Amino acid sequence: MPVARLLRPLAFAAVLLPAAAQAQTVLIAEPVQLFAGPAPDYPILMTLAPGMEARLFGCLSDYQWCDVQLSFGARGWVFAGSLYYPWGGSSVPILQYGPTLGIPLISFFIGDYWGAHYRRQPWYGERDRWRDRPPPAAPIMHPPRAMPPPGGWSQPYPAPRFDRDRERERGQERGWEREQGRREAERERERDGDRERERNRPPRQEVMPQQQPPRNAMPAPNPGWNGGGMPNTPPRQEQHAAP
């Protein structure tokens, strides 16, 4: 087996790993087709609509074809003339700004790439059709050149958007932590005030309840009278003298 064929997977992995580590988000600026390779005669996967976002893994050395992946997992190659990189609140074309943006440069090996992404496609078995021949040239464009950042060469190049997003998230987390600390300090001050008021409060005086007479109490019976209001002694009978 030729040494070149043995080294090819290693070279592909060496190119792919740094590209995956530096994947950046790009915008689709106009309708463009997603191909299974860096040329228009490779199988067409789908048509991308303007406004869609994709992860950019890298471009060929001329910055005319780039390897991207959509949010739902579809991966392929797009002509760079339709890709724009978010930058400073606007966007710049990768075809012109690619060298300045530091977009990773990668290579394309059809066997490795198709084997990783297209094994279930009906045309996977036709990969020899494109193997061992140079792909057709991309549309004629002006060669890429380094472009100044928006505002002129005196302006610094902004960080990639994913770095700005990460910094914004860290700022939001710090703001949330500060807000939580402020609220906890307010609650602690309220608790201190409650404890201070409790210490300064005069002692409570216990009031003993007065004994009240029972309601609707029956009066005690008179010892000389029965319960019906009659005296306990029988009435005296008058003695009349005989005539």
Q: What is the per-residue pLDDT across 189-237, written as a single tens digit (0 to 9) for each? A: 888 877 887 777 777 776 666 666 666 555 555 555 555 555 555 556 6
Residue 169 has pLDDT above 70, yes or no: no
**pLDDT band at residue 68 under the 50/70/90 scheme:** very high
User: How far is it, in rounded angstroms, from Cα 46 to Cα 76?
Assistant: 10
- Mean local confidence (pLDDT), 47-66: 92
Task: For strands 53-59 and 44-48, give the pairing.
Answer: unpaired
State the chain's mean pLDDT as an integer. Answer: 72
- Mean local confidence (pLDDT), 138-166: 48
User: Of the given ranges (22-26, 61-65, 202-206, 221-225), which has the lowest mean pLDDT?
Assistant: 221-225
Give the pLDDT score at 54. 93
Give the pLDDT score at 41. 86
The CATH number of domain 3-147 is 3.40.50.2000: no
Residue 53: closest CA among 36, 22, 78, 88: 78
Share of the chain above pLDDT 70, in %: 56
| DSSP secondary structure of 149-207 | PTT-TTSPPPPPHHHHHHHHHHHHHHHHHHHHHHHHHHHHHHHHHHHHHHHHSPPPPPP
Residue 18 has pLDDT above 50, yes or no: no
- Mean local confidence (pLDDT), 78-89: 87
List the structure tokens of 122: 């009906």
| Beta carbons within 10 angstroms of residue 88's beta carbon | 15
Give the pLDDT score at 141. 45
Q: How long a stretch of residues is the chain?
A: 243
Give the pLDDT score at 7. 41
Residue 92 has pLDDT above 60, yes or no: yes
Give the pLDDT score at 36. 93
Q: What is the residue extent of each domain of the chain? A: 3-147, 159-193
Residue 17 has pLDDT above 50, yes or no: no
What is the three-class DSSP state of 208?
Answer: coil
Give the pLDDT score at 96. 86
Using an 8 Å Cβ cutoff, are 162 and 21 in contact? no
Strand partners of residue 84:
27, 93
Which is more confident, 128 or 167?
A: 128
Which is more confident, 8 or 128?
A: 128
Tokens 């009278």 map to which residue?
Answer: 225
Residue 50: closest CA among 27, 78, 72: 27
Q: What is the pTM of this model?
A: 0.49
- Mean local confidence (pLDDT), 157-186: 64
Give the pLDDT score at 3. 41
**pLDDT band at residue 78 under the 50/70/90 scheme:** very high
